[in-house]
Structure 1
Amino acid sequence: MSGEWRVGGATALVVLGVGGVIWAAFTAAEDIIGARTWADAPSATWCALLAVLCGAIAVLGSRILARADEWLDDLPAKSYLPSVARFAGVALGAVGAVATTGQLEMRIIAGAVAVAAVVFTVLRARMLRSEIVETRVERARVDALRAHGRRVRAEVIDAEFTGVWVGAMMLFEVTAQYSARSGTHQVRERLLTGVDDAPVVGGTVLLWVAADGSAPADVLMETDPDSIRHPEPSALLPVVDPPLPRRPWLA
C-alpha cells in the first residue's frame, strides 16, 4: 500500500470515527432530553455503544496519522493533518445531527457546532498547506546541499536539549565550529537524534555546506557516527516519579 493510501485511509478513519461520536452524542442527548425516565430513552444505550466504537476507530486513525511523515515526504514530523481530520469529523457529525434530529433546539446547537468546526477545519487546512510548502522548500534546499555542497566534520562547542520530543527522537540546539578556506565559521542548527546519539560538547557532527564552506547560514547538520557519545545518555531522559507505595489493605 502506497503512502498516499495509508495517510488517506487513516484520515478517513479519524473523520468517520469523530463524526460518529459527535452524531451519537447529539442523538443520545435528544433522546434523553425528550424522555421522562431512562426506560423511555432506549436508543441512548445504543448511541453510547456506537460512540465507543467510533471513538476506538478515531484513536486507531490518529495513531496511524502520527506516522504520516514516514510515508509522505511533504509532511513534517508533527503536522496539522490530525487536527484537520478531527475538526472535519466534528463538522461531519454535527451536520448529520442537523439532518436527523427532530428537536429545533438540538438542530440549532448542532448547526452552530458544525459552522464552528468548518471554520476551524479551513483554518487548520491552510496551516497544513503552509507546512507542506515549507517542507518542500526545505527538502529542495537539503537536496541541493547534498548534490552541490561539501561535507565537513565540525566540532560541537555547545549542545542544548530543547525539551522537545518527536516520537523517540530528541531535538537539540547545537553550535558547531568548522574551518574552511575562508576561515573559521560557527553554525547553530537544530538536530533531531536518538538518545544514544545525543551530541556532546567535544564531539563532532557532520555538516553539508556550500562548496567553499563560506556560507554558514545555509547548512545541513547530521550526526557523526564516528563522534564520541554522551557518557550518560539516560540522564537526558525525563524523570519519572516512583509509584506511591500501596496500602497493605489494598494489596
Structure 2
Amino acid sequence: MNLHDGALLGAADGGASCYSATVNDWVCWDYVVDRHSEIVDATEQHVYITLVAVALGFAIALPLALVARRFVRSEGGILGFTTIIYTIPSLAMFSLLVDWTGLSARTVIIGLALYCLTVLVRNILAGLRAVPDEVRESAIGLGYGRTKLLFKIELPLALPVIMAGLRVATVSTVALTTVGVIVDAGGLGRLLRNGIDTDFKAQIFTATLLCVLLAIVFDLILVGVQRLLTPWTRA
C-alpha cells in the first residue's frame, strides 16, 4: 500500500489539507495534531532508550578506564576491545544480542551502551591523566586514600573532559537509537521507517526534527550540569 492509497487516505477524510491523498507536504502541523499520541509515545521510548543506554555505558566505562589506568599493560587491550565493538554494524550487533534479549528495548539499550564505550573509556582515561601530579601529591600528603583521592580530587578535576565524552556519546546515541527499529524498539525510528515506506513526508520530517531537537536538548542539559558541577571553570 502506498502513500496515496493507504497511509494518508484516512487523514484526507478528516480534512487535513497538508497531508492527504493528493497533498503530501513536508511540514504539516495537522499531522502532529492528529498523530499526537503516537508521536509522544515514540519520543518517550526514544528518550528512555537513550538515557538508559548512556547511563549503562558510563557505568561500564568508568571501571574499565580505572583498570586501564591502574594496570598500564591492560590499556591497549581495553581500548582495542571497545574500538572493535564500535566497528560492529548495528544490524549485526542487534542480531547477536536478540537471541538473549529478544525483540525488546533491552536489545537496543545493551547494544548502544556497548557503542558508547569507545568514547567514554578514552575520555575518562584522558581526564584522569590530565590531573596534575602535584595536585595528587598534595592530596596524598593531606592523608587522602586512593578512593577518597579518586572521588574528591581526580574525578572532579577530570569532569570537563569526561563530560565532553559524555556529550558526544549522548548525541550519537540519540541518532543510533533510530536503528533499533529493526528489533521493533527504535523510538522515533519507527516513525521514520513507516514514513519512508509510505513516502509520508510529514512523518519523516517530524521524526527527524524531533531527533535533532532531542540531541540539542540533551547536549544543553549536559552543558548545564557540567557548569553546576565545575564552578571553578567559570572563573
Question: Of Structure 1 and Structure 2, which has the larger fraction of its residues in strand?
Answer: 1
Q: Normalising by structure 1, what TM-score?
A: 0.32
Question: Which structure has the larger Rg over C-alpha atoms?
Answer: 1
Question: Of Structure 1 and Structure 2, which has the larger fraction of its residues in helix?
Answer: 2
